[in-house]
Amino acid sequence: MLRRPSSGILVLLAGLLLTLPVQADDSLVAEFRSFYGKDRSERERVEAVRVLADVHSLPAAQALLPVLEDESFAVRQAAIETLGANRGAGVGTWLIEEVLTSRKLKRKKDVRAAAAEALGLGGHSEALEALKELLDDRDEQLKVAGVRALGHLGDASACPELSTLAGDDDAFLTVVALDALARIGSADGARDAVIAAVSHADNRVRGRAIRAVLELRLKAGVRPLIERMRVETGRLAGDAFDVLRELTLRKFPDSPDVWSAWWDRNENVFELPDPELVAAARKRLAEEGSRYVEGKKSFLGVETKSENIMFVIDVSGSMETRFDDPDRLASTGREYASLQRLAIVKEELIATIEGLSPSTSFNILAFATEVDPWRKTSTKANVLQKNNARAWIERLQPLGGSSASFRATSGLSVSDANVGATNTHLALMTALGEEVEEGERLDGFVLEPGNDIDTIFFLTDGDPTIGKTVDMLEIRGEVSRVNAYRGVQIHVIYVGAVGGKDLQLLATENGGMFVNIGG
């Protein structure tokens, strides 16, 4: 006969059960402390940090303190996100009192800046005043961390201070502040700062402000956007046009006179459309692309008004493959001399460059294992440079495979073992103007861009196979680090037969279009 346990035993069992998760968590934290170290690869360190995302305790948070000084930006960001997700008792107080405002850690700006961002991501409202104080800090890293943290925290009471920073002479800081205001989402709190920034002297600021008009659904931004269409001469004119179409759901052409006449008649009575309709329109526009009338340039179906363009072309060995679905090329309206992937790309690129206006600055980057720029810097699309570019493009040949003999004429000096590999990381970093050496510490977001490029057309036929990293998640993270506050639009044209999901995400994350023309 079974006996029913006494109430005392039940209480004891319950207590033991309650301690099991804590013991398991403590064990996991101990395992992490033992595992983490510089002898581990970057990917191993990132994965180890993310294991603690499900451990909500103060010891788990404290175990991540040394990680905030890791040499890898990706590892440090993983630690910040994991700290932000930690809902353990006392974590917020510890981050504020023992890290962010600690006298002992006063000189460790990396650690304090990371703590600020973690507090914002974690929604620790008790950190509001401490984060606001960072906005007056003399150190730019801490100031930027405070702005980003307040944006993540989402408290509209920070809008006045952030709006003041959005009028700063420092273009980078202004963009970060605008981004934070857009994240908070208070139209009333951000309106004046965003509208003023739409006509800022710096194109990076104007670009971020134009997007913020849509994100905050600012009716007051319609007329300023129409005026930007009148005065902008490059990509931002197209951005203003796109935002106007999404914000109002009107299908007028890219004529500021047409938009202005309509707004003069309807401004007082017009109501912004339902956000769900706007979201559906955004998806449709992403599929259709923009439809510019004047000043458009088009490369394999992707249009832009940019006047600072970088074309990045994959010349790896697989680009010698014959295009196996010629019917999909019918949309280009062009007859091709060859159905080889690179041959088709070369014809399209030459046609695009020949159509560039003389005011457009451009450059071309061919890549396989290494990169080969046509010019050291961008150059104007005058008749002489177009002719030179055409000759250079015509000489390009796929590297590796049966075309390995062409590597000498391509200008790419690679070892025989690596001929024809795909170094996506190097190609994107070079296009963005970043020279990242092997083993170099990547300290943070880019303050000063390495070039004036605002639009990249990145064409490839497959995933990376060589380079500092071949992990597309890491590559996308690096592009985000470099491009987070620059606003370079990255269009991806994929000519592979299968795959391309990560490249599609790369385009989406960087405001560009993804076009899969098959392979």
Residue 15 lies in a domain: no
Residue 6 lies in a domain: no
Give yes or no: residues 464 and 349 share one domain. Answer: yes
Q: Residue 3: phi, psi to the nearest 5?
A: -105, 140
Residue 128 lies in a domain: yes
Q: Name beta bridge partners: 366.
A: 313, 372
Give yes or no: residues 278 and 331 share one domain. Answer: no
Domain that holds residue 488: 297-516
Give yes or no: residues 217 and 322 share one domain. Answer: no
Give yes or no: residues 312 and 417 share one domain. Answer: yes
Q: Which residue has the tokens 């069992």?
A: 13
Give yes or no: residues 404 and 464 share one domain. Answer: yes
Residue 405 has pLDDT above 80, yes or no: no
Give yes or no: residues 46 and 120 share one domain. Answer: yes
Q: Given 273, 294, 315, which residue is the final one in a domain? A: 294
Q: Given 269, 294, 319, which residue is the final one in a domain? A: 294
Range 133-142 burial, b when 16+ CB lie within 10 A, else e: ebbebeeebb
Give yes or no: residues 240 and 385 share one domain. Answer: no
Q: Name beta bridge partners: 514.
A: 492
Residue 39 has pLDDT above 90, yes or no: no
pLDDT of residue 284: 66
User: Which is more confident, 356 or 338?
Assistant: 356
Residue 410 lies in a domain: yes
Residue 385 lies in a domain: yes
Q: Name beta bridge partners: 460.
A: 494
DSSP state at residue 219: G
Q: How would residue 406 be classed by pLDDT, with cut points 50, 70 and 90?
A: very low
At 106, which CATH number?
1.25.10.10
Q: What is the SS3 assignment for 335?
A: coil
pLDDT in tens, 460-509: 988 889 988 888 988 998 999 999 999 899 999 888 766 688 999 999 99
Q: Given 238, 264, 294, which residue is the final one in a domain? A: 294
pLDDT of residue 409: 45
d(CA 433, CA 125): 38
pLDDT in tens, 150-189: 999 999 999 999 999 999 888 999 999 999 999 999 999 9
pLDDT of residue 272: 92
